[in-house]
A and B are shown apart, each in its own frame.
Chain A
Amino acid sequence: MGNKETSWEPKIIAFLCNWCSYAGADLAGVGRMQYPANVRVIRVPCSGRISPFFILSSLQNGADGVLVSGCHPGDCHYLTGNYSARRKFALLKSQLEHIGIEKERVQFTWVSASEGGKFAEVINRVTETVKALGPAKRLVKKCL
């Protein structure tokens, strides 16, 4: 087990839209850019496909952070998926903060297929922030 203090690494679930952010992640890989191995990627057809349930389930089941990334506004493959998603996410994030869950644990961003560098940077930033917060304690299930 080792010393928890020093060996702990955050688990971050990243929901990436197939058409942009997932391709952005691919590009980061092809370009051999370095980013922390803390993210577990789940590919979704569009940011509009992501239900607040996905995010809550992640937090309940052991994620220390959740990242959602879709196409830039105006670039959604299905035209408006990310616009509708943006309203939902704004409310979810605000509600989580309201009840006292650290708002930095849930992050939203836009990464296009050509932004491999941005993808790596986002992962760096999110990992750092979540690391600074420490392991998630609130909303985590005690028995899985």
Chain B
Amino acid sequence: MTDVSNKIREEAGKLLEKGEVDVIIGFEKGSIPLSATPCFIRNEADIEKLIWNEYCGNNLSLYLSKARGKIGIIAKGCDTRAIVELIKEKQVQRERIVIIGVPCEGMLDRKRIMIRCQSRNITGIEDQGRQLLITGDSLNVAVEKDEFFYPACQVCANRNPVMCDVFIGNTIEEQKTDEFTDVTDFNEKPSEERWAYITDEIDRCIRCYACRNACPLCYCKECFVDATQPQWVGKTIEQSDTLSFHIMRSIHLAGRCIECGACERACPVMVDIRKLNRKMSADVKNMFGYKTGLDIDQPAPLSVFKPDDSEEFILDI
């Protein structure tokens, strides 16, 4: 990891020095254990702040549609997929960004590790490769990394950047993820059980909208959920309103969500938001043969149609 950090600093330094970019978007050390924080480097003097480790989960492409000038961005596989969609949707111009691509073997889920550590105060973390030895106030646990990668990382099929200008490190092997078995498994459960699961999750939602704010593809200036004329979704945390918000969000992201899991990571109450988004990704793939974030020239599935699209669901009398 330190090699990668050094290489990132080197490449980022070059870009700033040559004036090829105005800002580098990357990660710096987080203020709490097991975390890294997005940072914006404008001066070469600050380049040492840049780091790379297994806590760099945030999808930095989130900032592309907001930042001005020429931007250098550190991007994992999923981040580059988001960039592809953002370029396609004209939220950022390809010429305006320099992508520093970094292969990623999965990011660690801080919240679940903290639960494992019973939320005790952590004073030491020793990285042993496949294990973390965590010590602290009456705390001494060994954490198997394999068990604590984010759900999105566990099923990720694009660990290598799909597009980049500078490549850091070596290409890694992609996971043979048998895609969407999670969705099919869930679909096979009886409807009662699915409803119970979804409502259980949704009932925890406090409508903070962190999921939306962390999502790189949720860039609308006015989100439907904030609109008041007309007010599509009620503002309460009654199940009906909350669920409608989440259903609508998943529909709005259908054919756009690149499954980075940023929404889920941002959620303070660990709502299984991806249950809805994954379903849409599976459908978009099965119905329209489309996978998001791979090809800038392929039109978004909901912006086009085929005359012979499936009519299976149409009531025929």
Contacts and interface: CB of A to CB of B under 8 A. Distances in A.
A125 interface: yes
Contact of A122 (B193, B194, B317): B317
Nearest to A94: B283
A44 interface: no
Nearest to B186: A98
A121 interface: yes
A36 interface: no
Given A53-B224, A89-B313, A95 B247 contact: yes
A131 B166 CA distance: 61
B317 A121 contact: yes
B241 interface: yes
B270 interface: no
Contact of B240 (A93, A95, A96, A141): A141
Given A80-B305, A141-B238, A118 B317 contact: yes
Contact of A73 (B192, B288, B307): B307
Given A56-B247, A107-B315, A86 B283 contact: no
Interface stretch (B100-108, B127-135, B168-176, B248-256): B248-256
B191 interface: yes
A100 to B, nearest CB: 3
Interface bracket on A: 35 or more
A143 interface: yes
Contacts of A37: none
A95 B246 CA distance: 11
Contacts of A97: 191
B235 to A, nearest CB: 12
Contacts of B302: 84, 87-88, 91
A92 B305 CA distance: 16
A57 B309 CA distance: 27
A8 B224 CA distance: 34
Given A53-B232, A95-B279, A109-B314, A90 B305 contact: no
Contacts of A60: 234, 240-241, 244
Contacts of B139: none
Contacts of B247: 52, 56, 95-96, 99
Interface in A89-121: 89-102, 107-110, 118, 121
Interface string B56-67: 000000000000
A50 B187 CA distance: 27
Contacts of A100: 191-196, 198
B311 interface: yes
A139 B310 CA distance: 27
A134 interface: no
A84 B288 CA distance: 12
Nearest to B254: A91
A27 interface: no
B287 interface: yes
A118 to B, nearest CB: 6
A25 interface: no
A67 to B, nearest CB: 8
B165 interface: no
A126 interface: yes
Interface of A: 52-53, 56-57, 60, 73-74, 80, 83-84, 86-102, 107-110, 118, 121-122, 125-126, 138-143
